[in-house]
Amino acid sequence: MKVTSPPPPFELPGFEISDWALLGALLIVTVVGSSQMSLLVIDGAGSITAAWLGNAWALFYDQVTGRAVSTLLAFGPAWALSGWVDLPANVFVGVAHVLNFAVPLVFWLALRAIEPQRIFSRLYLAVALVLVFFTSELIPAMGLWMIWLAVLDHPQRSRPAKAIATIVIAPLVVLTHPAIAITSIVFAIGGLALRLLGRPFPRHLAIASAAMGVLVTAGYFATSALWPATNPSLAGQLQGGQYNYVDPLWMLGTFGFFPMLAVFWLLLLAPGLDGTAARWRLSRTALVILAVIGLWFALNGTNILTWIFARSTAPVALALALCLALASPAATWLQAARRPLLIFAAIMATAAVSYGVDLFLFGRASDARLAPLIAAGGPAPNIAPMGPPSPPPTQRPLPVVFKWLAAPDYVRDIINPYYGGERMTFAFYSFFRSDRRAVLYKPLDKKREWVPFMCTATDDALKRPRDAIDVRMLRFIREQYCV
């Protein structure tokens, strides 16, 4: 009679302590982000505002049709909810955040349902955690890409099932984010290199991934030609950062300014280096050093910039980590990944709390700026332009790695300039922060500034407003923030 031992405490079959740790970090991210309206301090402000005011597709979402799948997965549920249920604005914003942060969870559950080993789901959730505070189309893109690879990697899936998965998923991946082409190509090159080194990497995955990279690249050029950006002010924004995903000097530079990113990616590479018996591995001492460095910058780094710049290196980091994992014996990788993933989750949770402190301070400073507008009375929202911009803070290296050195001027020198206190998004943040009673906005009077909404769609929204407050907000957008 075979006797099986029960799983260790806090573990279920196929559900280990590293899963609990990553899910716990996601829970902290969700609570912090939703309670402090983190998406409203960055580009998510436009997406949530459009979902509240009317036809979000025409107002905002169709400006980059080539990323429609990612946009609709991230913000489509909130847009649908706004049409089905009449929620107070503050409740709607909170729900929109929760739904956005739930996207990685949904993909994680899908991966667990189809993957042959708990490699895909753990790597995906870890990478998604680093990206989720910023509205990144890469989160759905990576989720779909990894689901497709997990199906192809499963030894019990039939060829017809794999063909159907490719036919269904490939067009969706094309309409997520072009950087997934880089992930595919790096994964293919890395896999073939491992095979040349005698490692047991699945050859068919390398070939399929290379084909996917070519398809996504071709799809990017095709969709750009068929559906160019409808907002001319957005085109310059997209072009300005398009080479950040392939410029090695830029990518290395992000590690110099945000060492926590390098720690994150090294932790994901560590179990694969161990599993493939690579010459260069991370010892336990090295893991402790990485943990100390990561926790330091999680507490003391300028977190909002970390989430923004993570987009440049995440596609390559995921591809390399998955390459090494699939070239390792599964049991070896899963065992070797426990400690790095626990450290990863601890750093991420710490960074989320530190970021929450920043967002709380930003909210309190914003309340003080909005108080005179709210107290003035009159029809809501009271709308006023910002005063002259503050002098740019002195760019000193030390506050980047130890932000509290800016005290007692921390809010003025770090929070306001980095968290959108003088950017276009503050108009929408202030609208919801004040419960639709005030709008403090930056005039868009400079060349090449991004003007967020489309005027024709704004005119259509004015024909079907929610109430008089939204009418005044839409009129403000029509006069100041549409193109």
- pLDDT at residue number 134: 86
**CA torsion, points 28, 173, 215, 188, in degrees to nearest 10?**
30
Residue 438 pairs in a beta bridge with 382
* Integer CA distances (angstroms), 426 to 235, 374, 411, in order: 21, 16, 15
Q: Check if the beta carbon of residue 303 is closer than 8 Å to that of residue 245.
A: no
- pLDDT at residue number 11: 44
Both tokens of residue 364? Answer: 């309190």
- pLDDT at residue number 10: 44
- pLDDT at residue number 437: 96
- Indicate the SS3 state at residue 264: helix
- pLDDT at residue number 440: 93
Tokens 């505070």 correspond to 133
Element spanning 415, H or E: none
How do residues 322-369 score in pLDDT, each as one tens digit? 999 999 999 999 999 999 999 999 999 999 999 999 899 899 989 999
Regions of the chain with pLDDT less than 70: 1-14, 235-241, 278-279, 302-303, 389-408, 421-422
- pLDDT at residue number 301: 77
Cα distance between residue 447 and residue 470, in whole Å: 28
Cα distance between residue 180 and residue 145, in whole Å: 8
Q: Check if the beta carbon of residue 75 is closer than 8 Å to that of residue 56.
A: yes
Both tokens of residue 136? Answer: 């990144």
* Integer CA distances (angstroms), 299 to 267, 364, 376, 474, in order: 18, 20, 39, 39
Closest-CA residue to 109 (of 126, 97, 121, 127): 121
